[in-house]
Amino acid sequence: MKTAALLAATLALAASTAMAPSAVAQEVTLKAVSSFTEKTQFSRNFERFIEKVNADGKGVVQINYIGGPRAMPPFEVGNAVRTKVVDIANVTGAFYTNLMPEADSFKLISKPTSEQRKDGTFAFINELHNQKLNSFYLARQFHNVPFHIYMNKKIDKLDFTGLKIRVTPVYKDIVEALGGTTVTTAPGEVYTALERGVVDGYGWPVTGIFDLGWEKVTKFRMEPAFYSVEVNVLVNLDTWKGLSDAQRKVLSDAALWLEALDSENGALIKSERDRQAATGIQPIEFSAADAKAFLAKANDVGWASVIKRSPENGAKLRTLSGN
Ligand code: 173
């Protein structure tokens, strides 16, 4: 009897230790990182999400934010979630296409995230994250914010021959298709590259250029806007599976709240475009026909590049996207 009781007690202790975050209603703290500089455009809403989780999740789940690129180089964030160096991350798919080539297609999927959650797109992208990034796809932000190519040389036709453009995987294919030379850098290196004339232009969303002072080294913004920004919240899959239903609910509810913040983007885009104009950044515009051809080309080269690297999943994503 005595031995049996001791054994039972030992087993119970072992079980509770092994399942520490999930078994009991104990508060768990998740470690978070962002691939964008703290308090800038593409980290800010994630930081609001963290504040909300920490308020709603008292005694249930908390997030410890270790910060942005000062804490971790942006192109390493995807792998850090995969390997559980962090539990939760704010990161664009463009920064982990090395681990998941399909991530390069997310920029081509522009319908509202709420629709993607209904029509199977979100579920499929979650599966890809489960399989290839050992992570749970918790949220997608900024579906309604497009990108531009910003320039320091004026061009009068859609030909980038002789131009050197700072890119990430978002812009690489279209810049090369237009004859440009590409240099891939993290956002943190853009200012210096422009200041030193190492590049003649760069890709970036319509919002956010003021955060790191790029307006001081930017002359033109090429029209039209193209693609769709995507910044995801990913949770390491082992972490996710170890959470209780109550803990997951706090995170999932906050994720929907975060996605709904996309309704603020229309006004934000307008004010940033106005601010760019006020600071002297001039638009470079082409004819309606040329603009249309550019958009078609951007879409085509984007999909071709994904489908080449991942034929089956790429084709499925294209069908789901409707683009
Ligand atoms: O230009 C970039 O660094 C980039 O790819 C990106 C993606 C999403 C939001 C902001 C920038």
> Could you please report the per-residue DSSP string of 63-126?
EEEEESTTTS-GGGHHHHHHTTSSSEEEE-GGG-TTT-GGGGGGGG--S-HHHHHHSSHHHHHH
Going from N- to C-terminal start, the domains of the chain cover: 22-144+229-266, 147-227+271-321
The rounded distance, in Å, linking the Cα atoms of 168 and 187 is 9
**Tens digit of each residue's pLDDT, the chain (323 residues):** 444 554 455 444 444 444 444 445 699 999 999 999 999 999 999 999 999 999 999 999 999 999 999 999 999 999 999 999 999 999 999 999 999 999 999 999 999 999 999 999 999 999 999 999 999 999 999 999 999 999 999 999 999 999 999 999 999 999 999 999 999 999 999 999 999 999 999 999 999 999 999 999 999 999 999 999 999 999 999 999 999 999 999 999 999 999 999 999 999 999 999 999 999 999 999 999 999 999 999 999 999 999 999 999 999 999 999 98
Strands 231-236 and 88-91 turn out to be: antiparallel
CATH class of 22-144+229-266: alpha beta
Q: CATH homologous superfamily of domain 147-227+271-321? A: Bacterial extracellular solute-binding protein, family 7 (3.40.190.170)
Which residues have CB under 8 Å from 314's CB, separation 6+?
Answer: 101, 102, 105, 303, 306, 307, 308
Instruction: Tell me if residue 230 falls in helix, strand or coil.
Output: coil
Q: Which pTM does this prediction carry?
A: 0.92
Give the distance from CA 169 to its chain's centroid: 12
CA of 93 to the centre of ligand 1 (A): 9
CA of 179 to the centre of ligand 1 (A): 21
The token pair that represents 312 in the structure block: 């089956």
CB neighbour class for 175 (10 Å; exposed up to 12, middle 13-18, buried from 19): buried
The rounded distance, in Å, linking the Cα atoms of 116 and 256 is 12
Residues 217 and 201: beta-carbon distance below 8 Å? no
CA of 40 to the centre of ligand 1 (A): 12
Residues 306 and 314: beta-carbon distance below 8 Å? yes
- Closest by CA to 140, choosing from 207, 205, 235, 231, is 231
Q: Is the peptide bond before 224 cis (omega within 30 degrees of 0)?
A: yes
Instruction: Please report the atom of ligand 1 found closest to the CA of residue 167.
Output: 1
Amino acid at 301: V
Mutate which of 92, 171, 194, 265 for ligand 1? The one with the most ligand atoms within 8 Å of its CB, which is 92
The finding on whether 170 has its CB within 6 A of some atom of ligand 1 is: yes
Q: Please check whether the two domains, 22-144+229-266 and 147-227+271-321, share a CATH topology.
A: yes
